[in-house]
């Protein structure tokens, strides 16, 4: 799917930076969470206002720490196609003792769409989805 996702099948997920950028602009395809979800489908990748202070210790995050990263904005979208408990090292991005959310079909926006995020999986408004679709066409 190369166009922005449709309304009925979308949730938003807010992540600390630089992890949102690592997904939208990099190679991170596993999001580590303390909780599981049964949801499968499209996720808007939203960069929250918080910067993870521990990111400086993650070698793979370093390229994203050399320049300011967008915050308070949707950076792209991806398909959540699996969620499982830590089963060892399923990818270099996987964290021990976390739930691994597997992301595929990642798309980045040419320009971030400013929007406040929320905790958990949140339902985007129709207005936000319209803005994302518009930004995807640029």
pLDDT of residue 67: 85
Q: How far is CA 21 from CA 9, 32, 43, 44, 83, in A?
A: 23, 15, 14, 12, 20
The distance in angstroms from the start CA to the end CA of the chain is 16
Q: What's domain 8-136's superfamily in CATH?
A: Hypothetical protein. (2.30.130.30)
What does the pLDDT profile of the chain (138 residues) look like in tens digits? 345 565 568 999 999 999 999 999 999 999 999 999 999 999 999 999 999 998 988 888 888 888 889 999 999 999 999 999 987 767 778 888 899 999 999 999 999 999 999 999 999 999 999 999 999 987
pLDDT, one tens digit per residue, over 90-105 is 777 888 889 999 999 9
Hey, what are 132's tokens? Answer: 């994302």
pLDDT of 61 reads 87
What pTM was computed for the model?
0.89
Answer yes or no: are the C-beta atoms of 46 and 74 closer than 8 Å.
yes
Tell me what pLDDT residue 1 has: 38
């Amino acid at each position: 799917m190369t166009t922005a996702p449709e309304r009925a099948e979308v949730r938003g997920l807010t992540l600390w930076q630089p992890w949102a950028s690592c997904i939208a602009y990099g190679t991170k395809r596993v999001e580590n969470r303390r909780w599981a979800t049964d949801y499968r489908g499209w996720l808007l990748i939203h960069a929250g206002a918080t910067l993870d202070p521990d990111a400086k210790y993650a070698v793979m995050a370093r390229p994203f720490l050399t320049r300011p990263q967008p915050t308070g904005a949707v950076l792209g979208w991806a398909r959540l196609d699996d969620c499982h408990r830590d089963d060892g090292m399923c990818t270099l991005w996987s964290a021990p003792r976390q739930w691994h959310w597997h992301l595929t079909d990642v798309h980045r926006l040419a320009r971030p769409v400013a929007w406040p995020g929320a905790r958990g999986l949140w339902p985007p408004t129709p207005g936000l989805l319209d803005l994302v679709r518009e930004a995807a066409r640029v």
